[in-house]
Chains A and B, each alone.
Chain A
Amino acid sequence: MIVTSREAWTGRVLLVLLMAFTIVPFISLFVTALHPSGTYPSGIQWPQDPQWGNFGRAFTSANMGELLWSSGLIVLGVVPAALVLGTMAGFAFGHLRVPGHRIGFFAFVLGLTLPFEGIITPLYYQVRDMGLLNTRWAIILPLLGLFMPFSVIWMRAHFAGMPNDLSEAARIDGASTWQLFWRVHVPLARPAISALGILLFLWTWNQFLLAIVLVDDPAKRTMAGALGAFQGQYGTDIPLLCAGSLLILAPTVIVFVIFQRQFTAALLQGALKG
């Protein structure tokens, strides 16, 4: 490729600027979190006496231990089930091409752009009538439904791309549809399933609206939902609020850094595919 050095340098400068725009807010948050609790520091300013203890205090007052446990439970309730249901339906629509699969698929496409606010009011009354208000099920079950359009369409796209010869060979060997699914196609779909799992984890962990509407007790919410309550409580104590926010966003960042490659690929594909 022809790259003049002037072009390469403009590229580098622009990239660094963009990275600075992304990262400086985090630095400001971090530096502010180190100021003495109750003070009102300004902008980016390294404190004379960094208060590392703020993180400990925020950890206790935000009930972080309990929150991690709660969010973990919600993720465990949503992600595996959504993966199983989405994969099975994607297989039915994308590979088995059951009669009427176009209509079924279209019904899911409709849900793809649906804003959660569009159904939150009746969802509240429905969850209340089911007696699930203020339980983690109030977040888990609706999220399962809300994630179905994306999950089904994502998995359908994968299965539609699988060659038919593969299934025909398995059929000739006497495989039932279930064996065909479980023994042949699920193992081959592992990359698509794990990418979907990463996205679903992220969206569950960060879910806010359902958490604040359907669950009053912050200790039974998702991480993001609990952060809203923490802000209400410590809105005026800026350093402590910053420390708490950092603690609450840390798990996603840590998971992101560990699975960085898979995350990036999943996020890019997730936006493009469907």
Chain B
Amino acid sequence: MASPLTSVRSDTAPPPPVPTSRRRARRARRPGAWLGWLFAAPAVVVYAVFVLRPLLLTVQYSFYQWNGIGASTWVGLDNYRRVVTDPELYGSILNAFELIVFFSFIPVILGLLVAATIRRIAESRLAVVARTVLFLPQVIPLVSAGIIWTWLLSSRGLVNQLLDLIGLGGTTRAWLGDFDTALPAVGVIGAWVLLGLCTLLLLAGMSKIDPGQYEAARIDGAGAIREFFSITLPSLRAEISVCITLTVIAALASFDIIYISTQGGPGGSTMVPGLQIFYLAFSDRRIGAASALAVALVVLVLVVVIPIQRLAKDNTA
């Protein structure tokens, strides 16, 4: 699932680039430099055939009305008009944005707090064990995460059992089947999957901060909170932006968890663009509408992700 982005200072990061002009002068003179493309060609071909071509076709399909079998009719921007006016379609986009709160904000903020608190014991045995345990949700298929939590959140699941135990028996319900709670419940599943990854990423970032900075702050009398805001947070800009990018994409492009846990229900309350595209294209056979929504989703991801990348670059460049 992960789809990773920035380059960050790390042990393996490439050295600062040589000024281009010098490098070009050294390279261009070698005869047969174009032959190097033979190395890149196979990758370029599979990428072009199985990604770029379908991507262009998605754009093309989005201007037609087509049921996948018969003739297609040119409808111009009609499908896009539907994306912004049909509550079923734009509703799925709004739901995806609501999921960002759970998939992104909660794991990143909680991850920051947890990582900052456990930073000092990051070398202990307990923390080493934790590195393994916290990755587990990253390793299993998202489908399994969906099944596990469907059971936990069901009317007789663990969540309700715990609520009963602490005297909140009145609030128990089938969390995924309730109009008001289904979307947050799906969000909790995403938070479970992503919290460990964010925590460990941020922790890895913190381990690269010079401990001398913390010592100096302590000697100057800074407390844990002051330390967090003046040293930890600014040093982690790159890692935070990676976490936000990964988790925002996971929210906007979510499919597996929702397909398994709610199928978009009840009544479309957990419908997201990914699932909607799947239904439109393969159940309703409305290829044009599915494609317009797909284009909207791709654009949306770029519009959200590119500024985050910019923010991170400002600092590291």
Which A residues fall within an 8 A CB radius of B?
Answer: 1-3, 7-8, 10-12, 14-16, 18-19, 21-26, 28-29, 32, 40-44, 84-86, 88-89, 91-93, 96-99, 101, 104, 107-108, 111-126, 141-142, 144-146, 148-152, 157-158, 160-161, 177, 181, 192, 199, 202-203, 205-206, 208-209, 212-213, 223-224, 227-228, 231, 238, 241-242, 245, 248-249, 252-253, 256-257, 260, 263-264, 267-274
Contacts and interface: CB of A to CB of B under 8 A. Distances in A.
Contacts of B86: none
A113 B305 CA distance: 8
Nearest to B295: A118
Contact of B46 (A10, A41, A85): A85
7 contacts: A44-B161, A85-B43, A88-B40, A113-B3, A224-B143, A245-B147, A273-B10
Contacts of B55: 114, 118-119, 122
Contact of A208 (B6, B151, B256): B256
Given A15-B127, A231-B147, A263-B135, A203 B1 contact: yes
Interface of B: 1-8, 10, 12-15, 23, 27-28, 33-37, 39-40, 42-44, 46-47, 49-55, 57-58, 61, 68, 114, 117-121, 124, 126-127, 129-144, 147-149, 151-152, 156-158, 160-162, 192, 195-197, 199-201, 204, 211, 214-215, 218, 224, 238-239, 242-243, 245-246, 249, 252-253, 255-256, 259-260, 273-274, 277-278, 281-282, 287, 290-291, 294-295, 297-298, 301-302, 305
Contact of A18 (B61, B195, B243): B195
A44 B114 CA distance: 27
Contacts of B130: 15, 18-19
- Interface of chain A, main secondary structure: helix
A274 B305 CA distance: 15
B255 A117 contact: yes
A15 to B, nearest CB: 5
Contacts of B57: 119, 122, 125-126
Given A118-B298, A271-B242, A274-B6, A22 B161 contact: no
B294 A121 contact: yes
Nearest to A181: B39
Contact of B136 (A23, A104, A144, A203): A23
Given A96-B39, A118-B295, A157-B12, 5 more contacts: A89-B42, A249-B140, A253-B136, A256-B136, A274-B4
A113 B295 contact: no
A224 B121 contact: no
Given A92-B37, A205-B141, A8 B50 contact: no
